Amino acid sequence: MFVVLLGLAGADNYVRPPAGRSLFVSHDHSKTSSQQVHISLAGNAQLRISWITDELTPSTVKYGKSSGVYEALMNGTSSSYRYIIYKSGQIHEVVIGPLEPSTTYYYKCGIDSSPEHSFRTPPAQFPIDFAVSGDLGQTEWTKSTLQHISKTDYDVLLLPGDLSYADFYQPSWDSYGRLIEPLASQRPWMVTQGNHEVERIPLIHKERFTAYNHRYHMPFEESGSSSNLFYSFKVAGVHVIMLGSYTDFGPDSSQYKWLESDLRKVDRKQTPWLFALVHAPWYNSNSAHQGEKESSVDMRNSMENLLYNARVDIVFAGHVHAYERFARVYKQEADKCGPVHITIGDGGNREGLATKYKDPQPKISVFREASFGHGQLRVVNASHAQWTWYRNDNAQPDSTWFTSLASDSACVV
Ligand SMILES: [Fe+2]
């Protein structure tokens, strides 16, 4: 059930900003010092810490509950990759834990002269706060989005694909890592990949997702998946499924089989809320990326029944550079037991906003606006969550309450 608290008043007078130029964030520390630090959830009470050094250094993380006092030390691994003439720095990753919930830890990556960072672990129980932002890129608009997110007290960030917009120019991946470090080193950033992560060049670089897979190792092993391109995780009372729009999703694919088995394992008593993220939206009334068969329509036709039968509460997508919130839907019609679909591809990348919409607005599209912004989802308890979309340029939000399908007796399977 939706309760729309604030509507569109005044939105028509808003002058939408143009696309922003890409920034480049350089590194001003030594070649052995940690940079591009980011963290992600890695199974039960553990976090994966990832960072890059220009030169070979130890893959160790020291951490503790007081600044400068490190009670624990964990070792990990490092790797690098080549992309045409580019050779990446040393990409380190270390899994640390067990960690206590809702606790701030201080940590240092690699050598002692690296800077100290801190993070806060997510809570063990409700309430939990998510920040949601897709198609982020690295422009002034991205900086604005990150500034807005940094002012909120979120626990975990969800990113439904299109991260750096490096688009084959690998140093831009490093720049992006530096841009997001102040946030991504403090809270787990859980991401899935978009079309801008593919980076395949026929005959020249045949492998897909090379930079993404090396730089953003998500907990796929921990969730029984065979690929970094699809995985799931549990946090507080929420089960989150990350899907890949640009890898096989048909009934014979490993992604489909993994999704079936992952959904079978979901216990709604333990995780009353069930979310999914995918890059290319299955529902979209914007003119941009309309009806893209390979990534949106075919994937929806293949997998929508799995998500519907499992009573997934919300599906977040990106790809379209705008915000749109749909009603609960299934097979393109309103359905009280279907997921809410939300497109949140308005993080701020250099391609700009997708401002043209299909007219008239379909009945299942509740709110749509082409402005840069981000979303916040506060899951208050097992049955209620508040969703708010904030436009970067002012405080006029789209805000609504969701009720979990696990708590809706009409939808219990
Ligand atoms: Fe995209």
Inside any domain, residue 2:
no
Active-site pick, 214, 239, 289, 341: 289
Average pLDDT over residues 63-73: 98
The per-residue pLDDT for 2 is 33
The per-residue pLDDT for 13 is 59
- Examine the domain organization and report whether 197 and 337 are in the same domain: yes
Q: How far is the CA of 63 from the centre of ligand 1 (A)?
A: 36
Please say whether the beta carbons of 178 and 26 come within 8 A: yes
pLDDT per position as a tens digit, 325-381: 999 999 999 999 999 999 999 999 889 999 999 999 999 999 999 999 999 999 999
- Examine the domain organization and report whether 147 and 210 are in the same domain: yes
- Across the chain, mean pLDDT equals 94
Host domain of residue 73: 35-120
- Examine the domain organization and report whether 79 and 156 are in the same domain: no
Residue 321 tokens, joined: 């550079």
Q: How far is the CA of 129 from the centre of ligand 1 (A)?
A: 25
Number of structural domains the chain divides into? 2
Q: How far is the CA of 163 from the centre of ligand 1 (A)?
A: 9
Q: How far is the CA of 318 from the centre of ligand 1 (A)?
A: 7
CA-nearest of 136, 145, 198 to 167 is: 198
Inside any domain, residue 29:
no
Inside any domain, residue 99:
yes
Residue 356 tokens, joined: 């043209």
Q: How far is the CA of 29 from the centre of ligand 1 (A)?
A: 33
For residue 98, cis peptide bond before it (omega within 30 degrees of 0):
yes
Active site residue 289: yes
Average pLDDT over residues 206-214: 98
Q: Outline where 68-192 has alpha helix (H).
A: 140-150, 171-184
- Examine the domain organization and report whether 181 and 92 are in the same domain: no
- Examine the domain organization and report whether 61 and 169 are in the same domain: no
Q: Report the 10 Å Cβ neighbour count for 79.
A: 14
Q: How far is the CA of 319 from the centre of ligand 1 (A)?
A: 4
Residue 189 sits at the vertex; the CA angle it makes with 96 and 44, to the nearest 5 degrees, is 40
pLDDT per position as a tens digit, 369-402: 999 999 999 999 999 999 999 999 876 789 999 9
pLDDT per position as a tens digit, 17-56: 777 888 999 987 789 999 999 999 999 899 999 999 999 9
Residue position matching structure tokens 């990534």: 295
